[in-house]
Amino acid sequence: MIKKNLPKLIITSLITLIPIVIGLFLWDKLPDTVPVHWDINGNVDGYATKIQAVFVIPLVLIVFHWICFLGTTLDPKKQNINDKMFTLVLWIIPVISLLCNSMVFATALGHKVSVEIIIPVFMGALFVVIGNYMPKCKQSYTMGIKLPWTLNDEENWNKTHRMAGFLWVIGGVIIMATAFLGVFWLFFVVLILMVIIPTVYSYLLYKKRMK
């Protein structure tokens, strides 16, 4: 599996590191202190040095990228992971790297960046995409809702992921809507429900089967 997906890993890794090239190109224009964090209202509340912004952030992300790749390819149930799901995993961090560093550089150069809109829209869209794939996700230790009772019961796994897939699509749409409704607290409420509801549902299936 590693050999088969190595070209994808190389391409996505290079894309993850593109912000370093952009940062070097903008080096003389960037201030010594660069904004790297925003509060829920889109106001900058965290800074880093130019070196940290240009080099450290992409390098940290590339480490996580490789961890995700290796963890997935070494999964004991890797034969259950289809190519589309694996491709989705490989592209999440490269997209995050480009998006986050673009916001960092644009803000550092004095451009107005509506982080309070961009992040919920991106996160919501990501959940919609994942939700569409969830019902097709087979048992594995790296993808899906990994609970003792889902991993030990294929029927429980399938029912839980069909329900969770629908829930995550709806939740993703609501999260995207929060970007324009100005109710950011709803973002966190939806996230919590997207985790708790499938977990409880799966557990109830397990208890019912035990009876």
Helices then strands, counting H and E runs in the chain, come out as: 9, 2
Distance CA 193, CA 90 (A): 26
Per-residue pLDDT of 148-202, as tens digits, reads 999 999 999 999 999 999 999 999 999 999 988 877 788 899 999 999 999 999 9
Distance CA 53, CA 34 (A): 7
User: Identity (one letter) of the amino acid at 135?
Assistant: P
pTM, rounded to two decimals: 0.88
User: Residues near 149 by Cβ (< 8 Å), separated by ≥ 6?
Assistant: 156, 202, 203, 205, 206
| 96: exposed, middle or buried (Cβ count in 10 Å: 0-12, 13-18, 19+) | middle
